[in-house]
Amino acid sequence: MRSFVFSFYSKLSLGLVFSFIFMGVILLVLAQYLTRSYQNEVEQKLHYQLAAHVVHDNKLLKNGEIDHAALKNAFHSMMILGPSFEFYILGTQGEIKTYSADPKRIKREFIDLAPVQQFFNDQTLLPIQGQDPRSLDKHKIFSAAPIYEQIKGEDVLQGYLYIIIGGEIYDGIVDLLQQSHILSLAVWSLAMAMAFGLLVILILFALLTRPLRRLTQDMQQFRQEGFAHGQLPSSKWQPNSADEIERLGNTFNEMANTLNIQYQKVKNTDELRRELISYVSHDLRTPLASLQGYLETWHLKHKELSALEGEQLIDVAMKNAQHMSRLIEQLFELAHLDSETITLTKEPLAIAEFAQDIMQKMALEASNKQVTLDIEPKDPSIMVMANIEKLENVLTNLLDNALRHCQAGDRILLKVSPATAAGQQQISVKDTGLGIAPQDLPLIFNAHFKAGNSVQGKGRNSGLGLAISKRIIELHGSELKVTSNLGQGTEFSFNLASA
């Protein structure tokens, strides 16, 4: 309930309801004001000449004094017109001299003549309201006319006839009209129209905010379950929609997908690291135990051993220490290569000569195993772009791996294929050795994976060489590929850009 009340749609709806109520009140007040103003304008225009006709038809002054008989006749005529008119005779300064109203209700002794003069001068300003003698603060529409008397042949201003249009009786009638069924019907019609309009807008808001609610649900679902269950938001959003919310939802889905991929990658990497640590701890434990055992034997018995026997113990211990050193270096190398920010500096390299130098380092071991090492073509002009140190590591790992899985009479060939139209040189290391089982091929680049027919050699194989080589080739912008037939040999290949 609380989530609904404080939801965006609820806030929007409540704001709209209050706005409609406020606007409804404003419209009612404004309608009443405009109606009354229009009515006052019409009434004043209709009775604009009323005071002038009364003055013309009745000589209200006689010898400078009010002619009460004429005044009574005028009042009688006005009562016939209707009880909503109130008559006042004003002096030249606006003082009230006489009137037709109840004396007990008169609150003023003077009337401001500024509205009266405005009434005489400009009819376009109607309605013009003057002071109401019955009130100290109210103003009402009126009709006025100057009262002149001829003195010595000249018209002399003696005062004004000031007629209030709509007296207290008229106010009562207005109040009655406000309570009439016609006005009530108008008010209810306006209220129903606004309620219908409000309902339609609320429905439109519900439709317009539905994508927002859907996006909110997707976000909540992703926050609660996304990473934990490997799930993505279920809603389908249109990427090319003109609706900004649809595009926002699609962007969120893409972001969630990217985050999920990164999460799975980190999770898998973490699992691989834990597995690697387990394997490495085992691989380190073996040479470490051997190193410790031979050193302890030498330490306890070196006085009893001959010089040759002592040298043999130290030599085995040294080999185990070297194996541990290589393994630790490979671990540091793999960790360094796993960094997302690592970049390689490449330079032109004569690949055939470079490979020949590496093969020279393995020539003695290959000769002892009666394995042939060769390179095709032996062309020093073939140039590639590569990082010399890292490429040496790759070729050393691939040649060493091939040599360990070859037997007497086998051949290892490093071949450089002609450059392609895209300016790529393919480098391959192919042997005729034991080969790799089909089920092991997808796994051989995993750190510390060892194939079922893997040859341990002299304890040098840590299982990290191919993983390191694969990462180095990826940093060169290529992919390390492998093909193999069990019992027939294996071929590793990758591309380098031509220089």
CA atoms within 13 Å, Cβ hemisphere of 263: 15
pLDDT above 70 (res 189): yes
- Bridge partners (DSSP) of residue 429 are 414, 492
Mean local confidence (pLDDT), 53-74: 68
pLDDT above 60 (res 171): no
- Whether 147 and 89 have beta carbons less than 8 Å apart is answered as yes
Highest mean pLDDT (candidates 130-134, 314-318, 464-468) = 130-134
According to the model, what pLDDT value does residue 433 have? 92
pLDDT band at 150 (very low <50, low <70, confident <90, very high): confident
The more confidently predicted of residues 441 and 305 is 441
Residue 62's alpha-carbon distances to 58, 68, 151, 333, in angstroms, are: 11, 9, 11, 127
pLDDT band at 388 (very low <50, low <70, confident <90, very high): very high
Question: Residues 424-457: pLDDT tens digits?
Answer: 999 999 999 999 988 888 888 876 666 555 555 4
Contacts of 360 (CB under 8 A, 6+ apart): none
Highest mean pLDDT (candidates 136-150, 334-348, 459-473) = 136-150
Amino acid, single-letter form, for residue 179 = Q
pLDDT above 60 (res 67): yes
According to the model, what pLDDT value does residue 460 have? 47
According to the model, what pLDDT value does residue 406 have? 93
According to the model, what pLDDT value does residue 279 have? 63
pLDDT above 50 (res 2): no
The more confidently predicted of residues 264 and 359 is 359
| Region of poorest pLDDT, from 137-141, 191-195, 227-231, 429-433 | 227-231
Q: Is 405 exposed, middle or buried (0-12, 13-18, 19+ CB in 10 A)?
A: buried
Domains of the chain in start order, with CATH, are: 47-179 (3.30.450), 236-342 (1.10.287.130), 347-497 (3.30.565.10)
According to the model, what pLDDT value does residue 321 have? 83
| Region of poorest pLDDT, from 43-52, 68-77, 376-385, 438-447 | 68-77
According to the model, what pLDDT value does residue 454 have? 57
Mean local confidence (pLDDT), 116-133: 86
Residue 112's alpha-carbon distances to 88, 91, 129, 133, 203, in angstroms, are: 13, 11, 11, 10, 56
pLDDT band at 336 (very low <50, low <70, confident <90, very high): confident
Tokens of 14: 């409540």
Amino acid, single-letter form, for residue 6 = F
pLDDT above 60 (res 85): yes
**CB neighbourhood size of 463 (10 A):** 20
Enumerate long-range contacts of 63-66, CB under 8 Å, 24 or more apart. Answer: 64/149, 64/151, 64/158, 66/97, 66/98
Tokens of 448: 């510390």
According to the model, what pLDDT value does residue 349 have? 92
pLDDT band at 176 (very low <50, low <70, confident <90, very high): very low
According to the model, what pLDDT value does residue 61 have? 63
